A and B are shown apart, each in its own frame.
Chain A
């Protein structure tokens, strides 16, 4: 079963269009949405949560195709948005009291445990917390009602490496239970590389690629070659390329690497950048 199943979704705004987005998050897995600012990550998460209406397509979350019409289903979902908007005057303890009134499955002991674990000041009003502490508080709230699905929208952006590391550890812990899944969007690709099972590259409102992370990294190789060598690579094997006055740099599926050419392992960030920049490069050439 898929925790999230998105098929052929379209959504238009005056200056942005999301086109034919299809992706699945299998239950028990972590899917990373990678995309530059404005690529449609937040729009996709809003569509999943029913915060805006899709123009076409189908979205199923934990088997429910209309989350806006079934708000009770949100008991099963923990969301940490890019900015956590909790009542500014409330202190962490009172936020727990408030959240307990919204969630039937609220676990006050777990919340307290998370507050201690994440070292969130208890006596400071939310508005006076640092950005990192606000985000930690958002995590504590999202995890304390024992959700099955966690959705994080740029939740680690702007946080220092220590906080990010703690949060990534929390995510790894969360998926120890096999029916727990996570959708995490970020433009900090190294974070996603560390925790994700699957990755989806989004660019200008379209899906460039969805694949199992390890398989993708195993399949792809980076090569630096001459333009003549580049032309010898089968087009189907090319994931992304960039031609320079001195030669070419490209990401190629392992089976398409020409003999005798040095191929090195590649990071997710390199694959994403090459796909996006290569595409832009080709468009400019046309």
Chain B
């Protein structure tokens, strides 16, 4: 696992630094332009971060690294787990950085109201974690050529269902939305964690069945 993580972080630093730079730029904009626009910009930053894993998967497929992994003393489960650890480690780090930066900004501006920071962070968790939870198994199963199109179609479907539930006044959605932030947050985190766990299990299963 140490070797896999080392290789992933070196690949990200060498080939995917532009995503990290863009995320930093979006964070900087969010820091200096607080409010609704700033929040949206920060969410864009997280979207950039969640694209890192797709690029890493694509890079490993095209360079043949995953084929080479078959010759190393590591299991396929470890290979899959390494992608999850790198992805969710980076996303968590980026969200924590957002919370710290925005909280400092608020304090600097003399405001103690951090609710807006945390609610944005929750949206960031939901969006970035769920997007990657979808993209990893899909890319592992269908490859980096067909994968993005299928990922887009599935995301489109899920968003469509979500919007339709909101528009039709689904009772469950309304109830959750009406709860205090802490409770809504906990529910969102629990749902996201369950989705990530399910995604990891599917990815391991898909990858263990793969033939080279």
Enumerate chain A interface residues (CB-CB to B < 8 A). Answer: 46, 49-53, 68, 71-75, 77, 79, 81, 83-90, 94, 97-99, 101-103
Contact = CB atoms under 8 A, between A and B. Distances in A.
A10 to B, nearest CB: 15
Interface residues of A: mostly helix, strand, loop or mixed? Answer: loop
28 contacts: A46-B212, A51-B211, A52-B211, A68-B76, A71-B72, A71-B73, A71-B74, A74-B71, A74-B73, A84-B68, A85-B65, A85-B67, A86-B65, A86-B68, A87-B7, A87-B63, A89-B11, A89-B14, A90-B10, A98-B3, A98-B7, A98-B10, A101-B2, A101-B3, A101-B6, A102-B3, A102-B72, A102-B74
Contacts, number: 63
A103 B72 CA distance: 8
Interface residues of B, number: 23
A102 B68 CA distance: 12
A85 B11 CA distance: 14
Top-5 shortest CB links A-B: A85-B64, A101-B3, A52-B211, A74-B73, A102-B3
Contact of B15 (A51, A72, A79, A89): A89
B115 interface: no
Contact of B73 (A86, A88, A98, A103): A103
Contacts of A94: 10
Nearest to A126: B63
Nearest to A86: B68
Contacts of B68: 81, 84-86
Contacts of B63: 85, 87-88
Report which residue of A77, A88, A99 has the largest number of chain B beta carbons within 10 angstroms of its beta carbon. Answer: A88
